[in-house]
Structure 1
Amino acid sequence: MMMNRRWTLAGMGALGLSACAGGGGAPAGAQYRAVPNAGFDAWLDGFRGRAAANGLSQATIDRAFRAAGYLPEVIERDRNQTEFRRSLEDYLSLTASDEKVATGRQMLSRHNGVLSQIESRYGVEKEIVVAIWGIESQYGARRGDVPVVSAVATLAYDGRRRELFEKQLIAALKILQAGDVSPEGMVGSWAGAMGHTQFIPTSYLAFAVDFTGDGRRDIWSDDPTDALASAAAYLDRNGWRFGQPWVVEALPGTSGGTVIQPQSPGPQFRTYPNFGTIKTYNNSTSYALAVGYLANRIAGGGPLQTPFGPDANGLTRADRQELQRRLTRAGYDTGGDDGVLGPKSQAAISGYQRDNGLAVTGIGTIALLQRLR
């Protein structure tokens, strides 16, 4: 039976960006600080007994909860997960950008020795492992800094998915009891995904490996070796077939697999059994396409040949990039010109509209682009 590495949170599993799109920590400027909460303290007292019943020692429980506390920011993130769904074109622009491809190729070269050893042991192509690393944590740059015990305890206390998060909390305590990491070192995303490849605690227990042989399955440290090996071990255990394709753009000369077209107009893709194995890592077609496409690019492949069509407002990606550049030159910072009109670009558009007596919509249009030209 295939086992998902992480749960699918509302708004997380399809095209909404999260830890799996490049970082597991807080958004820029966010702070996660424990605050007094009598209800949480009472719930934690009750949970201690359930933890002991699951084989956790009193010493482990006391040590884990010594500095744990209620994190209101975690509940806020959980309650306010965006329902905004990005187009596949935008998603690939963010997760498999030219910059991310270039960095991925650098990482493949820098860690080629250990990646080759991982590939040999688990039978998973190193380009796939590097692509997962890039999408999950921006090659380790955004592993998350939220205390995992506090985060999953807060979510368990909240009660919406108590059984799920109590299970994660028990698993986190078992990781601590095994000595793989200290409570202070066990950090990750606001929802408990950890390390370079963003494993939730239960998946860590099931799949993490000590590839370095130092006696610890360390997915948190600056050395990514154990985390990369753990991702490969996960895919191997879930049916990866070495030497077989995963996904290619459906063009003349390609054959086999199942043809899909997630966005029309736009490219079609041929997907193969390994594509399904990637989906066990995150059950999202767009995520699996991003991993497969990024892996192909890291391996030396070129960009997609079939263009996506204009968006709902008539703008092509080139138009959106031009709009971002012109807004920034006019003093309204969009944060870059990736062609993705996300929150910062929307704020810039709104600012320009407000200052120029236009209806404030935050929406990029052909008319707005023409006005800026």
Structure 2
Amino acid sequence: MLRQAAILVGGLGTRLGERTKLVPKPMLDVGGRPFLDTLIDELVRYGVFDEILLLAGHKAEIVETHYAAAVRGRTRIVVSRETEPLGTGGALLHARDLLHDRFLLLNGDSLFDFNLLDLIARAHDGRVHMALRDGVVGDRYGRVVLDGDMVRDFIAPGAGATGPVNAGIYVIDKSVLDDIATLPASLEQEIFPGLAKSGALRGTAYRGYFIDIGIPDDFARADRELRQQLRRPAVFFDRDGVLNHDSGYTFETHRLEWIEGAREAVKAVNDAGYFAFVITNQSGVARGYYEEHHVVTLHRWMADQMALIGAHIDAFEYCPDHPDGTVARYCRTSDRRKPAPGMITDLVRRFPVDMTRSMVIGDKESDMEAAQAAGVAGHLFEGGNLETFVKQRLSPAGEA
């Protein structure tokens, strides 16, 4: 599984004029906080990245200071500082010793809201697999000639061409750095055309919200709308009996049996632009059957299994408490234990959830009571294929 993301944050940002003379473009406030913080948060919620590597250049000391010894969840943030402008390819070459054999690369001045793990799951062939934006109108951007998933050619802006455009997000095999002969070097202009000619460049087209803060008009638009665009509905999944068969106090990976279509159901939620959360009562901790670290380990294993097909859970919430527990510190009544809504309300405080279009999917009446208490729809899952059940209840997150 790919565990590293790298973000290009070293450009001069000259088209934004005075704004970027003293501050790197990705560190400018957009929607009330540094744009780079938003990009990092979007990566962290996928739950698969151990490290985010920031490839800094212009005013790199600001990036270094802001992210010194930074950790987001289980993801550490590392800064690589180039001393002179080397281009996008040169920035990677400079950081070669820090890069994993295979990594995700993103531009630091744009955000594309689509399921990143779908791209990673598809990126088996070729040395680079690009994310492409479909349905783009106008002639501002160059176009990509795609044959299946094979990138055949690039067409410059202004040529009146149609087709997807480069979204600035790539799964890259580190061997690509061997193709860089001189510096500075541009991936887009010097490396990718050669990969396309040799059949080593792949691409997949996606639709979703996109913003590039590189020009003044788009910077202003991002500042106005980004926070609202990142507000999304959520599906709150119960775990035992919904995602996996309820075999009684499941805490070992070898005992977990997925419900038919469970991982695919989570991916459908991701692809539709919803948050996907797990809210699960785990009274086995209070009863002394297992410990909290067993729950965390199982959830990490479940996340890895989902990631194999391009699915992810944005957050796993569990309540270890029970009023009849035999372990003293967990023997209590908790407002996080369903049917109380505490796990849901805690998530809503941490994530920008649109509650008007959110839902709970559970297999017990206590799940439905928690949904009602939190003010969201509840859907009782009584067995069958979970993917089919979920897809019947989803609408694309951009629709009212």
* TM-score bracket relative to the smaller structure: under 0.3
Higher helix share: 1
The TM-score with structure 1 as length reference comes to 0.25
Between the two structures, name the one with larger relative contact order (CA 8 Å, sep ≥ 6).
1
Scaled by the length of structure 2, what TM-score is found?
0.24
